[in-house]
Amino acid sequence: MEQGEVDAVGEVLGFEEYVRTRQDALLRSARRLVPDPVDAQDLLQTALVRTYGRWEGIADKRLADAYLRRVMINTRTEWWRARKLEEVPTEQLPDACVDDATEQHADRALLMDIMEVLAPKQRSVVVLRHWEQMSTEETAAALGMSAGTVKSTLHRALARLREELERRDLDARALEHEEQERCAA
């Protein structure tokens, strides 16, 4: 084997080892960026393919997670922009699917459902700051924006999530009140 072939084989093995050790965490990151589990797998797979082509260019492999998250965010944004706008917005969102009756699963399903009201940039900031627990500076670097932009985007995103939660709470109370009146009649 020539030196170039040995280097190429080493890079492939390095990438495979990276994917093997980090795939669960990376899939969780992808799952937080897109609500559908199958789409999350597709997102991660696409990001891995794109990253593999540039693996040699990542000089500091400790930054591979941040690089891959950026690729996932960019890919998700591309998909969002390319989506077909055949969907018709409605006043009432569908009920969240809850696989388990526990309160934790219900809260998580509700949170994932209301995250869809956020713009992609807002969603990315919320995911990186609160789920990935990145600092403001790390989030800014990962998204290619200033720390001030991260802070203001996060502030607006959290305000939007609060509004959506309050709206849903009011809707649920109104439905409950109607149900009680119907049963009393």
Examine the domain organization and report whether 110 and 164 are in the same domain: yes
Same domain, 20 and 98: no
Whether 98 and 181 share a structural domain: yes
Report pLDDT for 42.
93
- Give the residue from 33, 56, 87 where a domain finishes: 87
Q: What is the pLDDT of residues 88-129, one digit of tens each?
A: 667 777 666 555 456 666 677 777 888 888 999 999 999 899
Shared domain for 30 and 15, answered yes or no, is yes
The CA dihedral of 160, 29, 105, 112, to the nearest 10 degrees, is: 30
97 and 82 belong to one structural domain: no
Examine the domain organization and report whether 9 and 75 are in the same domain: yes
- Do 117 and 82 share a structural domain? no
**What pLDDT, on the 0 to 100 scale, is given for residue 175?**
73
Structural domain containing residue 55 = 1-87
Check if the beta carbon of residue 72 is closer than 8 Å to that of residue 30. yes
In this structure, the answer to whether residues 81 and 97 fall within a common structural domain is no
Write out pLDDT tens, residues 141-179.
989 999 999 999 999 999 998 998 888 877 777 777 777
- Can you give the pLDDT at residue 147? 93
Distances (CA, A) of 5 to 1, 2, 9, 133: 6, 5, 6, 39
Q: Is 102 helix (H, G, I), strand (E, B) or coil?
A: coil
CA atoms within 13 A on the CB side of 163: 8
The reply to whether 175 and 113 lie within a common domain is yes
Backbone region of residue 75 per phi and psi (left: phi > 0; alpha: psi in -120 to 50; beta: other values): alpha
Q: How many domains does the chain have?
A: 2
Are the C-beta atoms of 146 and 165 separated by less than 8 Å? no
The CATH number that applies at residue 26 is 1.10.1740
Element containing residue 155 per DSSP (H, E): helix 147-184
For the record, the structure tokens of 68 come out as 């891959």
Summarize pLDDT for 56-93 with one digit per residue, the tens.
888 888 888 888 999 999 999 888 887 766 666 677 77
Question: At which of 38, 68, 87 does a domain end?
Answer: 87
